[in-house]
Structure 1
Amino acid sequence: MTTPTPTVVLVHGAFADAAAWIGVIWELRSRGIPVIAPANPLRGLASDAAYVASVVSQIDGPVVLVGHSYGGALITVAGTEENVVGLVYVAAYVLREGESLGELQARFPDSPLTSSLKEWRYPLLDGDSAVEVTIDEAAFPAVFAADVTGEVATVLAAVQRPLAAAAFAETASAAAWLTKPSWALVAGADRAINPEVQRYGARRAGAVVVELPDASHAVALSEPTQVAELIRDAVRATSRPAHR
């Protein structure tokens, strides 16, 4: 007998929403692969990972978790859910247990993203406030979406979703890639996450790596067929005939 086709759960990163997966979703569904793309709260690593894990736990059957950018940190933690059978990192952070985004990034030269962040404040339930960040709209096209049309990049800059600044310092409570197979797509022209950060994390996780040398951070939008093909590789590898 064969195992059921895994459901693909696409987790977007900071400064974006689930619509960034639109081309990838079309590619996967056109090939009969079930897929959902939940909204990522972007309020902190622990709470966001717990939310992703809650979505995964309510899906019947196996799941392939896919994370873009900051979403990679989330699937690293949420991927410990029992029904997760594979992890796919797309221009993403691949953390180890006890490591933060800030610690991983500090090993490598800063990307242009670092100097392009704009701080905002948002209210907390206790009446206090906290800092969240977006990318300066003028810098957004070059930093995040250099290989999509200028018109699309401008719209993406206007609708970007902020990330709580505290997320950069929170540490991963687990590293699912220690026990789950992983795949990674490195965006070679990424100006948001240094490609060396992506390569290092993918190598450390023992991931199957595909690199697109000219791809920007918005690779899921600019190269949906290539991204979907890597996800299909993960789905095929985790849907092999099972022994009775």
Structure 2
Amino acid sequence: MISKRLTALVGASVAVVAACVSMLAVTTADARPGGRGHAPADKPTIVLVHGAFADSSGFNAVIQRLTKDGYPVVAAANPLRAVPSDAAQLSALLDSIKGPIVLVGHSYGGVVMSTAATGNKNVKALVYVAAYIPETGETVAQLTDKFPGSTVDASLKAVPLPDGVVDLYIDPAVFRANFAPDLPAKDAALYSITQRPATNVALTEPILGEQAWHTIRSYALISGADKIIPPAAQRYMSKRAGSTVQTVKGASHMVFVSHPDTTVSFIERAVRETTR
């Protein structure tokens, strides 16, 4: 089980790292004539939050389509250090954005946005893309193990850090097979090289505080052939949250890369139903 595996990697006690990582924001221009550099008045800002073992570049195809449709987009740099500090950074970024926001999170990004959006009245919708939709007190490891089918335990490569925390990667040797089997081999190889590690703390620490999906409408795009978060776990979490659900048959954990049109259509549905 992933929780046992992570515990074995770090021992009984691990210090939580206070993450101080710069935010990388990708903002886009107004699609209206003469409006470059100003957000469209009638469209919300789409904020994208990447998950573990990834960075914001995975959203490139999604960003291209959203900006073509006239949406201002911000790609948040998720530090992947610990849920409280990761959420605090995202919350600060959200506070800097004027007007309505539709928040989109992939995988562990769903955990971070569920905490960061709590109490933010500008956030009109939460869109979970092959993502965790946690409840207070749960951990990523527990949710991963709740249903059979995840390959995470067999995929992890650990890098112990001097402070006792452990960085975790998906072993490049199994990255495509377990993380992105529906991507071309050359693309999956690039993502395996550019992946960013998550700490064991981020994946095993209990999630604290009220979760935003209790008060903000949620949407869940489920990847039907996911080998990281089993589809059964995604369905369980989305049903519990009362999310509007769409399943992409045969899609891997990187559904937003392999099916960008479907992902954008789903995001824009959330926009139509919550901000008009």
Q: Measure the CA separation in 2 of the matches of 1:220 and 1:193.
A: 14
Q: Measure the CA separation in 2 of the matches of 1:82 and 1:121.
A: 40
The match for 1:156 is 191
Post-superposition CA distance 1:193-234 (Å, at most 9, x none): 111111111111111000011100111111011001110011
Q: Measure the CA separation in 2 of the matches of 1:176 and 1:98.
A: 14
Q: Measure the CA separation in 2 of the matches of 1:215 and 1:30.
A: 24
Q: Measure the CA separation in 2 of the matches of 1:239 and 1:179.
A: 15
Q: Measure the CA separation in 2 of the matches of 1:154 and 1:104.
A: 27
1:16 aligns with 2:51: no
Q: Measure the CA separation in 2 of the matches of 1:122 and 1:219.
A: 31
Q: Measure the CA separation in 1 of the matches of 2:72 and 2:274.
A: 14
The match for 2:228 is 192
Q: Measure the CA separation in 1 of the matches of 2:98 and 2:205.
A: 30
The match for 2:132 is 93
1:82 aligns with 2:121: yes
What displacement does 1:132 show? 1.2
Amino acid at match of 2:180: A
Q: Measure the CA separation in 2 of the matches of 1:118 and 1:169.
A: 16
Q: Among 250, 255, 271, which residue is 1:219 paired with?
A: 255
Any idea what SS the aligned residue of 1:146 has? Answer: coil
Any idea what SS the aligned residue of 1:19 has? Answer: helix
Post-superposition CA distance 1:51-95 (Å, at most 9, x none): 111110110011111000000111111121231111000000000
Q: Measure the CA separation in 2 of the matches of 1:95 and 1:19.
A: 25
Q: Flag the structure with more relative contact order, 1 or 2, with Cα contacts below 8 A and sequence separation at least 6.
A: 1
The match for 1:168 is 203
Q: Measure the CA separation in 2 of the matches of 1:110 and 1:189.
A: 10
What displacement does 1:16 show? 0.6
The match for 1:107 is 146
The match for 1:40 is 78
Q: Measure the CA separation in 2 of the matches of 1:228 and 1:121.
A: 38
Q: Measure the CA separation in 2 of the matches of 1:134 and 1:224.
A: 24
Q: Measure the CA separation in 2 of the matches of 1:217 and 1:65.
A: 19
What displacement does 1:42 show? 0.5
Any idea what SS the aligned residue of 2:245 has? Answer: strand
165-174 or 186-195, larger mean C-alpha shift:
165-174
136-145 or 110-119, larger mean C-alpha shift:
110-119
Partners of 2:149 and 2:227 within 8 A in 1: no
Partners of 1:89 and 1:185 within 8 A in 2: yes
Q: Measure the CA separation in 1 of the matches of 2:173 and 2:79.
A: 25
TM-score, normalized by length of structure 2?
0.82
Post-superposition CA distance 1:102-150 (Å, at most 9, x none): 2222321251121110100234xxxx23101001111000111111100
Any idea what SS the aligned residue of 1:74 has? Answer: helix
Q: Measure the CA separation in 2 of the matches of 1:144 and 1:64.
A: 26
Any idea what SS the aligned residue of 1:14 has? Answer: coil
The match for 2:245 is 209
List gaps (5 residues or longer) in structure 1: none
Q: Measure the CA separation in 2 of the matches of 1:87 and 1:223.
A: 19
Q: Measure the CA separation in 2 of the matches of 1:86 and 1:116.
A: 32
The match for 1:136 is 171
**Structure 1 stretches of at least 4 aligned residues deviating more than 3 Å after TM superposition:** none
Identity of aligned residues (%): 45
Q: Among 91, 105, 122, which residue is 2:161 paired with?
A: 122
Aligned residues, how many? 234
Q: Measure the CA separation in 2 of the matches of 1:12 and 1:155.
A: 16
List gaps (5 residues or longer) in structure 2: 1-40
